[in-house]
Amino acid sequence: LVSGAASTPHAYDTVSGSPFTVTATYTSDDGDYTGSSGVDSHVVNAAATSTAVAGAPDPSLVGQSVTFTATVSADSPGGGTPTGSVVFDFGDGNVSAAVPLVSGVASTPHAYDTVSGSPFTVTATYTSDDGDYTGSSGQDTHVVNPSATTTTIFDDLPDPSVVGQQVDFTVHVNAVAPGGGTPTGSVVLDFGDGNSSAAVPLSSGVATVSHTYNTTVGSPFTVTASYTPDDGDYTASAGSAGHTVNP
């Protein structure tokens, strides 16, 4: 006691049990005064929170995995580490399951399959699991760029061929890592003999085109496949291969 008064700090880590009964018990140090105690009630309310969210890498590519991390903190004068879970709305029509907080942090991966709508508004919404903290949400914007592609003439069968024989060309178009997904669009083949195909739509990233050579002049021919995307999610690319025609 100092001049008949004593003080001490204490921080409550839960609202469970509020209002709390606080009891102060006095004990004399010299026998001049009898002991006594006093009681008061103290109300503890839930602490407000703030939620921040960010994605990495940012920007990302179509099909690339992005890790979104939400950090939930107590607003002053509240304190402690919030517990509960976070739901992520990725802004492209997809929403995560509830992700539990660990030391106030929750993370989840997501891959965007289109650039349409970029930059996307990502929202992280926090919900307490015990009522000690109020819910909150935070937003970030995330940019998605088109993924690069490679175009490969995978097969030209038969090779070599003979004049007048049908040759089947198979073209594969793939996203270049770290991008992903399956490119859509069409492929045009230049057969190297002055003839080109019409645009052939990709199916699961593959296009097949047939051609018949009517001469050996120019053999081996340089065959070029040119890919054109149909939606802006992937960049154009081209690939070449040689094809031999015998008499």
165-203 per-position pLDDT tens digit: 999 999 999 999 999 999 999 999 999 999 999 999 999
pLDDT, one tens digit per residue, over 19-73 is 999 999 999 999 999 999 999 999 999 999 999 999 999 999 999 999 999 999 9
Q: What is the pLDDT of residue 106?
A: 98
- Do residues 170 and 118 lie in contact, with contact meaning Cβ atoms separated by under 8 Å? no
Model pTM score: 0.89
pLDDT for res 230: 96
Percent of the chain with pLDDT over 90: 100
User: Does 108 lie in the same domain as 54?
Assistant: yes
One domain, residues 200 and 215: yes
> 28 in a domain, yes or no?
no
Q: What is the pLDDT of residue 81?
A: 97
172 and 197 housed in the same domain? yes
State both tokens at 126: 């926090």
Contact partners, residue 245, CB within 8 Å, separation at least 6: 160, 161, 162, 163, 213, 215, 216, 219, 220, 221
Domain identity same for 202 and 127:
no
Mean pLDDT of 199-220: 98
Q: Within a domain: residue 88?
A: yes
Final residue before a domain boundary, out of 94, 128, 145: 145
Find the domain containing 103 and state its range.
Answer: 49-145
What contacts 166, CB < 8 A, 6 or more positions away?
210, 211, 212
Q: Are residues 238 and 159 in the same domain?
A: yes
Q: Is residue 17 part of a domain?
A: no
Rounded-to-integer distance, Cα 72 and Cα 85, Å: 10
73 & 134 share domain: yes
Domain edge (last residue) among 92, 114, 145: 145
Which letter does DSSP use for residue 8 in this model?
-
| Domain contains 26 | no
Q: What is the CATH number of the domain that holds 192?
A: 2.60.40.1930
| Beta-strand relationship, 20-26 and 105-111 | unpaired
Burial 211-233 (b: 16+ CB within 10 A, else e): bebeebeebebebbbbbebeeeb
For the segment 80-95, the average pLDDT, to the nearest whole number, is: 98
Q: What is the pLDDT of residue 181?
A: 97
Average pLDDT over the chain reads 97
- Identify whether residues 131 and 163 lie together within a single domain: no
One-letter amino acid identity for 188?
V
Q: Domain boundary at 145, 173, 195, which? A: 145
The answer to whether residue 24 sits within a structural domain is no
Residues 164, 111 within the same domain: no
Give the count of alpha carbons within 13 A of 203, CB side only.
Answer: 5
Same domain, 187 and 171: yes
Per-residue pLDDT tens over the stretch 119-166: 999 999 999 999 999 999 999 999 999 999 999 999 999 999 999 999
Q: Is 230 found in the same domain as 167? A: yes
Q: How far apart are alpha carbons 232 and 83 in whole angstroms?
A: 41
**In this predicted structure, what is the pLDDT of residue 74?**
98
pLDDT band at residue 2 under the 50/70/90 scheme: very high
229 contacts: CB under 8 Å, gap ≥ 6: 146, 149, 183, 184, 185, 235, 236
pLDDT bucket at 242, cuts 50 / 70 / 90: very high
How much of the chain, in percent, has pLDDT values that exceed 70? Answer: 100
| Token couple for 48 | 């407000």
Residues 138 and 184 placed together within one structural domain of the fold? no
Q: Is residue 59 part of a domain?
A: yes
Residue 216 resides in a domain: yes
* 27 belongs to a structural domain: no
pLDDT (mean) for 93-109: 98
For 20, 46, 66, 86, 232, the CA distances from 102, given in Å and listed in that order, are: 28, 19, 19, 11, 38
Residues 137 and 209 in one domain: no
Domain count, the chain: 2
Question: In the prediction, which pLDDT does 36 show?
Answer: 96
